[in-house]
Every structure is written in structure tokens, then in C-alpha cells.
Structure 1
Amino acid sequence: MVAPPDNDVLWARGLHHSYGGSPALAGISLGVREGEILAVTGPRGSGKTTLLRCLSAQLAPSEGEVWFNSSPVHTLSARSRERLRLDRFGWIDTQPQLVAELTAWENAALPLLLRGEGHRAARHTAAEWLDRLDVGGCARRRPDRLDQSQRQRVAIARALASVPHVLFADEPTAPLHRTDGTQVLRTLTTAARSHQITVVLATHDPDVATLADRTFALVDGRRAGASSAAADAPDAESRAACSLSV
């Protein structure tokens, strides 16, 4: 087993996964640096969501390794992976997944409350993020009283409120109009940079990808190319060769 490079917060090697015999990932390897915003690009069905789910410990790959902060994720038990997701990772889905019985602020504060943070502090933090995403006025409403754009903003506030070490965003602006999507993405990327949050963002929109530091393109579950091939190499020897050539 090869240890990942020290400067990679996330590192994966040889990831394979299939659904019903149809390959979704076919030997994907990549590294994500601390504080980086990485856009995983490609057409629909290219494997973007599957890759994010493997990296975020939601899905165990059929083959390959995933490491977080130099610790193996692929060998963890289901309970340990769940704890890792709660303590260190944030997730924004293509469609907002909110708890119907909770208000907007309760949904946004939920990860903090599950971690054991005090009710008042969690509510204050959630309110701040709802305000940043222009849905502070909806804090007392339940999801059925919000429109699609508002629900997605609440979901994004929930992902940011816990200030995760790594934030995974799967087509986070899909439910939003282009103008709203641009504004929300700028809020997300600004927050990530100011709080040193590493972001792995899946998108098929080239305009969204321009907000990232680097891209990693997929086609049919395989790597099609990225903005810096040497930087994506997951093995230590490739990293060393890259640094020697500078």
C-alpha cells in the first residue's frame, strides 16, 4: 500500500465501481490539495456523482483506495464512515434534501446539533449562513413553504454552517436559474476560500468550472484530462518528478 502525498487532503487510486454490471468508474486516480477548489467535469452519466460519493465515504468502491488526511477511508467500517461524514465532510446534492418537519434554520443547524453543539450557538451560526445566502427571512418556514431555489440555498447553508474540512457539491446549482446559480456559487467559493474549505465540485457547466482552481474531466467513467496532469498524479514518484522539473 502506497502512502498518499502529505499535501493532499484527499487521494484516490484505481477506483472502480459498477451499477448492475455497467461500469461507472474505471480506474480513476486523483489527488486534491488542501484548500483547493476542484471541478470534476464531464457530461451527464460520465461518473461524476459516483466519484464524489466514493471520495466522500458514501459509497465503497468495488476496487481502489481512498485516503483522507493520510488515513485510509476504504478500510473503515460503515459506522466510522458515517462519523467521518458528520465530523469532517459536507455534502450539497443536486436536489435539496431537507427534513420536512424542521424549519429552515433547524435544517441548517442540524449537523451542528448532531455534533453536540449548543442549541443557541447552532441557531446563531445557521442564521448567519442563511443570511449570507439571502434566505434569512425564511428561517422559520418549513420546506413545503419554500420554493425550489430557497430550499437549495438552505441546503447549501447547512453544508457550510459546520465549516467542513471538505465540501462535496454535486451540481449544486442545478435547481437554480442561471443568475441565482452564479450568485450562490460565488457565495460558496468565497466562503470556501475564507474558511480554508477544500471543495470538490461536480458540474457539466463550463461556466461553473471556471470558478475552480483546477478541473478533472471524466468521460464514461475514465479520466479525459485535467488542467494539470502532473498535479493530479496520485503517486509520490510523479509528485517528486513534477517538483524537480520546476
Structure 2
Amino acid sequence: MVAPPDNDVIWARALHHAHNGSPALAGVSLGVRKGEVLAVCGPRGSGKTTLLRCLSGQTLADEGEVWFDGSPVHTLPPLQRERLRRDHFAWIGPEPGLVPELTAWENTALPLLLRGTSRRSAKATALEWLERLDIGHLARHRPHALNQAQRQRTTAARALAATPGVLFADEPTASLHRSDHAHLLRTVLAAARSHRVTVVLATHDPEVAALADRTAVLVDGRRVTSLTDTAPEGRAECSLSV
């Protein structure tokens, strides 16, 4: 076991993982510095979601190591990995995933309440983040009364309200109209940067990748330096800053 570099809050070495015998990751290594926004970029099916799930402790890689803040994630038992995700990580997926019975502010406050934060304090924090994402006026609405973009903003507010050490965002604008893409991401990334939240962002969209500080590119489960000669014709490519 090799200790990670001191300046990397997330560090992975030689990750291998397969789904039903089909390789999803094949020896991927990377590091993410504290406060950095890293875009994990590549065509659909290149292993981006699997990598984020392994980095966040949702999935154990078949081989390799994952470290968070100098501690090994890959050797933690399930309960400790769950606590790590609850206390230090947040996740925004391509679909909102809100609790339908809860209002927007209650959904946003939920991670704080699960940590034991008082209801009053959790509500105040939730309302603050909903305002930052321009949906404070919808705080008492339940998900069915919100449109898709508003539900995804609520999901982003929930992730940021928990002040995570690392925010994992897996194609967070995939379900939105293009006009909503940039506004949501710029707001989320500005908030993350102002609070020194590390962001690992999976995307196949070059416009989304361009908002990151740095880009790591995957093709067929492997990390590469260029998509020019490896991406199949017609598939989206990302601008690179490797």
C-alpha cells in the first residue's frame, strides 16, 4: 500500500472494476487537490460514473486503492463508508432524487438533520442555499410542484448545504435544457469554490468541462491524454486541460 501525496484530498491508484464481467475501469489513477474542480471527461460508457462511485465509496473497486484526506476508503467496512459519505461527501446525479413527501427546504436540510443538526439551524442553512440558487421563493413547494430545473437546483442546494469535503457531480445537467446548463453549473461551482469544496464532475459535454480547473479523460475505462484518435466518430469530445 502506497501513501497518497500530501496535497491530494482524493487519490486513487490503479483502479480496476468490471460490471458482469465487462471492464468498466482498467487501471485508472488520479489525484484531486483540495478546493479543485476536476472534470472527469469522456464519451458515454467510458467509465466516468463507475469512477465517481468508486472514489465516493459507493462501489468498491475490484482492485486498486482510494484514499480520502490521507485515510484509505477501500479498506473501510460498509458502515464506516456510509458515515464517510454522510459526513464528508455529497452527490448530485443526472436526476434530482428528492423525497417526494418533503418540501424543497426539508429536502435541502435532510443531510444536516441526519447529522444531528437542530431543525432550526438546518432550516436556516437550507433556506440560505435555496436563495443562492435562485429558488428561495419555492422553499415550501414539494417536488411535484417544481419543474425539472428547479428540482435539480434543490438537489444542488441539498449537496452544498452539507458543506461536504468533496462534491461528486455525475452529469448533473443531463436532464436539463441547454439554456439551464451553464447557469446551474456556474452557480454551483461558484458556491463550491467560495467554500473550498472539492468537486469531481463527470461530463461528456465540452462546455461543462471547460468550467473546471483541470480535466481527466477516460476512454473505455482507461485514462488517456487525448480523445483525438480514440473517440468513435459522432461521439462527444471534451476540451482538454490535462
Which residue is 2:68 aligned to? 68
Which residue is 2:109 aligned to? 109
| Stretches (4+) displaced over 6 A | none
Which residue is 1:234 aligned to? none
Deviation digits for residues 180-212 of structure 1 (CA, Å, limit 9, x no counterpart): 111111111111111000000000000111111
| Counterpart check, 1:156 vs 2:156 | yes
Which residue is 2:229 aligned to? none
Post-superposition shift, 1:228?
A: 6.4
Secondary structure in 1 matching 2:156: helix
1:3 corresponds to which letter in structure 2? Answer: A
Post-superposition shift, 1:57?
A: 0.6
| Counterpart check, 1:37 vs 2:33 | no
Post-superposition shift, 1:130?
A: 0.8
Secondary structure in 1 matching 2:225: strand
1:209 corresponds to which letter in structure 2? Answer: A
Which residue is 2:234 aligned to? none
Distance 1:123 1:64 in 2: 40
Deviation digits for residues 7-47 of structure 1 (CA, Å, limit 9, x no counterpart): 00000001011111100001100011111100000011000
Aligned positions, number: 229
Which residue is 2:230 aligned to? none
Distance 2:181 2:135 in 1: 14
Distance 1:149 1:175 in 2: 8
What TM-score, normalized by structure 2, do the two folds share?
Answer: 0.92
Structure 2 residue ranges without an equivalent (≥5): 227-239
1:83 corresponds to which letter in structure 2? Answer: R
Secondary structure in 1 matching 2:100: coil
Post-superposition shift, 1:179?
A: 2.1
Post-superposition shift, 1:143?
A: 1.0
What TM-score, normalized by structure 1, do the two folds share?
Answer: 0.91
Which residue is 2:237 aligned to? none
Q: How does 1:1-246 map to 2 (within 5 A)?
A: 1-225=1-225
Deviation digits for residues 40-63 of structure 1 (CA, Å, limit 9, x no counterpart): 000110000000000001100011
Aligned sequence identity (%): 69
Distance 2:163 2:179 in 1: 25
Structure 1 residue ranges without an equivalent (≥5): 230-246
Post-superposition shift, 1:164?
A: 0.5
1:168 corresponds to which letter in structure 2? Answer: F
Distance 2:4 2:91 in 1: 23
Post-superposition shift, 1:225?
A: 1.8
Deviation digits for residues 122-165 of structure 1 (CA, Å, limit 9, x no counterpart): 10110111111121121111111111111111000000001101
CA RMSD of aligned residues (A): 1.1
Q: Please say which of residues 176-185 and 57-66 is displaced more in the overlay.
A: 176-185
1:99 corresponds to which letter in structure 2? Answer: V
Distance 1:80 1:228 in 2: 35
| Greater share of helix | 1
1:156 corresponds to which letter in structure 2? Answer: A
1:152 corresponds to which letter in structure 2? Answer: Q
